[in-house]
Amino acid sequence: MPPAEEVRRRSHSDYIFGKVLGEGSFSTVYLAKDVHTSKEHAIKVVEKAHVIREKKTESVMREKEVLRILGNSCPYFVRLYWTFQDTDRLYFVLSYAKNGDVLGQIEKHGRLSIDCTRYYLAELILGLEHLHSKNIIHRDLKPENLLFDENWHILITDFGSAKILTSENGHNNESSTIDVPEKEYPYKRRNSFVGTAQFVSPEMLTETHSSYASDLWALGCIAFQMASGHMPFTGGSEYLIFQKILKLEYTFPEDFPREIKALVEKLIVLEPQKRLGTSDERKYSSIRQHPFFTVLNWDDLGPPPKISEDCNQTPSQEIPDHLEPGLDEEKASRLHLDLLSPSPIITRKKSPPNRKITDLTDAEIQERLEAQKSNIYHSFVEDNLILKQGFIDKKKGLFARRRMFLLTLGPHLYYVDPVTMTLKGEIPWSRDIKTEAKNFKTFFVYTPNRKYYLEDPEGYALEWCKAIDDLKNYYYPDET
Ligand code: ATP
């Protein structure tokens, strides 16, 4: 890490900001170039007011602290180069993961090859050995949080849920700095982090302590997903997923590679202390010695196996040189607009005219569900029938983020980032949900805790309100 006074001297004017790389729940990540070194970075910009409003200060500070502890000590982690702030925002200058994430590659190829699965699990294990030796538990490991650097090595990221243990016996002495009792942890995240439930270990659901073994459970789930393309625990709701996890209810697909199966079965184990690696004196010698890894030289993994045919293409220069350094409101808005247009894969679908959900027979629902499997957004809706979908600009703070909204039976109202193809969340349903159309484009959805500002770029705000109201009347008929 650079000396503290140097950190203070940096500001956003030391960087030329290019495109938006992605958005988190309370951050926007930009590709940026250091004007002094020409090095490309990912800069995570966090709006202070939003973080405070969403009570996420603890998580942001924890992420910064973990990145600070890790520094430059291990190649398998995203590195924090600088942090600075201005009145409204915090800036984290990070290593730029040029090649996306593991989830993207699994989705692109259906699954990873055995060689890639072995290699990237090995990098992850080396990363975990290091992380755990620093007394840190990640607690949110999943393929989406394993990024790829320009040479196709993994960079573990997202330490907002991490836990820093401060004593050798593994007990957490930092209770004053964590605002969520362990027991509530997975439940607290119910509405904002739908995707993560699948990787939560059983002890995080039932006990007051998580441990390093919780990351080993996630390692097993990741191995399963890399090799098969599917997560071991899925279900129509987080509750159902948690039930399956607690009962260890999962099955291997028939063509699941045998040598990985034996490893997964030793990691996805209900009792944390029985998971492979937990009783190692030297972490994680028993995992290293597992027959699946026999062909590897752990002291030098060598270059990564080719993950895809096009992985050797050099990415083109992405930040035009003529841009001025710095990030003011106008520039930030423009970069967001660049992200929003041209709109990718627009498949706006209206619900069939004059067809109410109540009019659909079970057979029709099944038929439509079958047809829906070819819809690229089907994988986000937990097998619920999509009644209406379309792009909506979801306003948050100063910015609008374009999302694919999916109104489904259940009821659910999911929204997906169409650029990164990740589920960003869902508007929570209850009998108290209300809509209000302000004009043809703008409409609001009110939930007990929040007002959502939404804008339909095609001007069908009224239709959205009606569809949501119809669904509400269907599920809560006496609430009108
Ligand atoms: P949430 O805050 O909701 O958990 P997140 O952890 O994905 O979401 P961020 O860490 O802010 O939030 O990242 C937002 C997006 O930016 C990521 O999904 C990814 O697409 C992109 N991104 C984040 N870090 C990097 C990086 N170092 N290099 C390249 N892209 C990145």
Percent of the chain clearing pLDDT 90 (strictly above): 53
pLDDT category of residue 90 using cuts at 50, 70 and 90: very high
Percent of the chain clearing pLDDT 70 (strictly above): 83
Kindly report the pTM of this predicted structure. Answer: 0.70
Top pLDDT among 323 and 163 is at 163
Q: Measure 352 CA to ligand 1 centroid, in angstroms.
A: 36
pLDDT in tens, 367-416: 889 999 888 899 999 999 999 999 998 987 666 788 999 999 999 999 99
Q: What is the pLDDT of residue 336?
A: 64
Which residue out of 19, 20, 26, 27 has the highest number of ligand 1 atoms within 8 Å of its CB and is therefore the one to mutate? Answer: 27
Q: Give yes or no for residue 309 having a pLDDT over 80.
A: no
Q: What is the mean pLDDT of residues 53-75?
A: 92
Question: Do 1-98+329-350 and 99-176+194-314 have matching folds?
Answer: no
Q: Measure 394 CA to ligand 1 centroid, in angstroms.
A: 18
Residues 384 and 410: beta-carbon distance below 8 Å: yes
Q: What is the pLDDT of residue 361?
A: 80
Q: What is the pLDDT of residue 25?
A: 74
Top pLDDT among 95 and 24 is at 95
Q: Give yes or no for residue 215 having a pLDDT over 80.
A: yes
Which residue out of 17, 19, 21, 47 has the highest number of ligand 1 atoms within 8 Å of its CB and is therefore the one to mutate? Answer: 21
Residues 228 and 250: beta-carbon distance below 8 Å: no
**Where does 357-475 sit in CATH, by number?**
2.30.29.30
Q: What is the mean pLDDT of residues 450-467?
A: 87
Q: Give yes or no for residue 158 having a pLDDT over 60.
A: yes
Q: Measure 478 CA to ligand 1 centroid, in angstroms.
A: 42
- Tell me how far apart the alpha carbons of residues 194 and 237 are, in angstroms, rounded to a whole number: 9
Q: Give yes or no for residue 222 having a pLDDT over 90.
A: yes
Q: What is the pLDDT of residue 345?
A: 31
Enter the tokens of residue 187: 């439940």
Active site residue 470: no
Q: Which of 140, 158, 215, 393 is catalytic?
A: 140
The verdict on the CB of residue 23 being under 6 Å from ligand 1 is: yes
Going by C-alpha positions, the residue among 116, 128, 118 that lies closest to residue 212 is 128
The structural architecture, per CATH, of the domain 99-176+194-314 is Orthogonal Bundle (1.10)
Element (H, E) at 334: helix 329-340
Q: What is the pLDDT of residue 8?
A: 52
Angle CA 160–162–164, to nearest 5:
130
Q: What is the mean pLDDT of residues 434-442?
A: 85
- Paired with 422 in beta bridges are 417
Give the number of other Cβ atoms within 10 Å of residue 475's Cβ.
16
pLDDT in tens, 345-376: 323 233 334 456 656 788 888 888 999 988 88
Element (H, E) at 96: none
Which residues, including other chains, have CB under 8 Å from residue 95's CB and lie 6 or more apart?
Answer: 41, 42, 78, 79, 81, 149, 155
Q: Give yes or no for residue 195 having a pLDDT over 60.
A: no
Q: Give yes or no for residue 480 having a pLDDT over 70.
A: no
The verdict on the CB of residue 98 being under 6 Å from ligand 1 is: no
Q: What is the pLDDT of residue 314?
A: 54
Gyration radius (Cα) of the chain, Å: 23
Atom number, ligand 1, closest to the C-alpha of residue 44: 11
Q: What is the pLDDT of residue 348?
A: 29
Element (H, E) at 443: strand 442-447
Enter the tokens of residue 225: 């997903």
Element (H, E) at 165: none
The structural architecture, per CATH, of the domain 1-98+329-350 is 2-Layer Sandwich (3.30)
Mean pLDDT of the chain: 84
Residue having the nearest C-alpha atom to atom 1 of ligand 1: 24
Which residues, including other chains, have CB under 8 Å from residue 78's CB and lie 6 or more apart?
Answer: 42, 67, 94, 95, 97, 147, 155, 156, 157
Enter the tokens of residue 158: 């997202």
Q: What is the pLDDT of residue 397?
A: 62
Q: Measure 420 CA to ligand 1 centroid, in angstroms.
A: 10
- Tell me how far apart the alpha carbons of residues 230 and 143 are, in angstroms, rounded to a whole number: 11
* Structural domain boundaries in the chain: 1-98+329-350, 99-176+194-314, 357-475
Q: What is the mean pLDDT of residues 169-173?
A: 42
Residue having the nearest C-alpha atom to atom 18 of ligand 1: 22
- Tell me how far apart the alpha carbons of residues 455 and 461 are, in angstroms, rounded to a whole number: 7
Q: What is the pLDDT of residue 176?
A: 26
Q: Measure 26 CA to ligand 1 centroid, in angstroms.
A: 10
Window from 56-60, 126-130, 210-214, 342-346 with minimum mean pLDDT: 342-346
Q: Give yes or no for residue 182 having a pLDDT over 50.
A: no
Q: Give yes or no for residue 3 having a pLDDT over 70.
A: no
pLDDT in tens, 104-113: 899 889 999 9
